[in-house]
Amino acid sequence: MNASSNPSSSPSSNFKRNVKRVMIAVMILTVAVLLFLTHALAGLNANEVTFTPPPTFVDEYAANRYQVEKTTSESEQAKAKLTTDYFIEAALVRNVIVNGESPDELIRLFTHPEKATRVKIAAAFAEVNIKLSHDEGTDFDNKRKAFWEKVEVHSPDIQNALFEALVTTAEERVRTFIPYTLAWWMQDDKPKAVEMLTWAAKHHPDPWVRSFSVYYVIQFGENEAYASELIDDRTHDPAFKVRQRILEQRFRRFEEMVFGKEGEQS
């Protein structure tokens, strides 16, 4: 029999067979994606968040900068009890930035030889920053830029105090919004901030801190090694909001790989 007379080899039958194969492949892919999403969002095999020491540059900076701390006992140096009772410090931060008062007293606290003092002013500074950001009534964003220009020489001191305060909040298992300030307003030494936020994303007990840190490091950190590390590590975070953030970043990166980044598309 001639092959052309065989119905099984007709164009229509070949087309139907190919469509069937595509449908089966799509179904298999759909099931695989659903299984992955279920596994990721349900928190199966979730890993406990445990505290580990932060990057060494935090303590090294303090040790080199504040030599007077060597006269303090080792136990007092290691512990800096965080307190939410920083109304006076927060008022000082607001007056300096919003009302244009001299930053001298603020800098004195940020460079104080006692770690507890630095931690307290850093916590207050971060609190004011996130509360007044985008506050058009105070024109805070523009005034904050003017403030940074005044204290530029002390930017490393302020950044390291924020690092110390972030570590203290992790040790004491309390929420903080310090990552917001480190991410958007401490650009002078961005690599250090990115490394600290990578650490916080993995080891800070508060879900908001981990979720924000994951978002910033992966999308804006400009460090593919840290981004990939967090995508792998935080897929098994015990908090749903962190796992959801990781999935969002996975899909965003996939879209950018296929269609290009926004602004790069033709």
What string of H, E and C letters represents the secondary structure of 7-32? Answer: HHHCHHHHHHHHHHHHHHHHHHHHHH
- What own/partner pairs with CB < 8 Å and gap ≥ 24 does 136-141 have? 138/98, 140/97, 140/98
Same domain, yes or no: 77 and 145 = yes
Q: Are 62 and 119 in contact (CB under 8 A)?
A: no
Q: How many domains does the chain have?
A: 2
Same domain, yes or no: 181 and 130 = yes
Same domain, yes or no: 28 and 103 = no
Position 51 in a domain: no
In angstroms, what CA-CA distances link 5 with 11, 41, 132, 233? 12, 54, 79, 59
Whole-angstrom distance, CA of residue 148 vs CA of residue 161: 15
Distance of CA 135 to the CA centre of its chain: 23
Same domain, yes or no: 30 and 120 = no
Position 221 in a domain: yes
Same domain, yes or no: 114 and 16 = no
In angstroms, what CA-CA distances link 46 with 31, 36, 49, 189? 22, 14, 9, 33
Position 150 in a domain: yes
Same domain, yes or no: 201 and 71 = yes
Position 48 in a domain: no
Position 241 in a domain: yes
Same domain, yes or no: 107 and 225 = yes
Contacts of 159 (CB under 8 A, 6+ apart): 182, 186, 188, 189, 192, 193
Position 24 in a domain: yes
Position 265 in a domain: no
Whole-angstrom distance, CA of residue 41 vs CA of residue 246: 10
Residue-range definition of the domain harbouring residue 181: 57-259
Q: How many CA atoms within 13 Å lie on the side-chain side of 238?
A: 10
Same domain, yes or no: 93 and 160 = yes
Same domain, yes or no: 14 and 90 = no
Whole-angstrom distance, CA of residue 158 vs CA of residue 121: 9
Instruction: Kindly report the number of other CB atoms within 10 A of residue 160's CB atom.
Output: 25
Whole-angstrom distance, CA of residue 254 vs CA of residue 260: 9
Q: Where are the alpha helices (DSSP H) in 99-206?
A: 104-110, 115-132, 140-150, 155-172, 178-185, 190-203
pTM (2 decimals)?
Answer: 0.79
Query: Low-confidence residues of the chain, pLDDT below 70?
Result: 1-9, 11, 15-16, 18-45, 68-84, 262-266
Same domain, yes or no: 219 and 101 = yes
Same domain, yes or no: 103 and 217 = yes
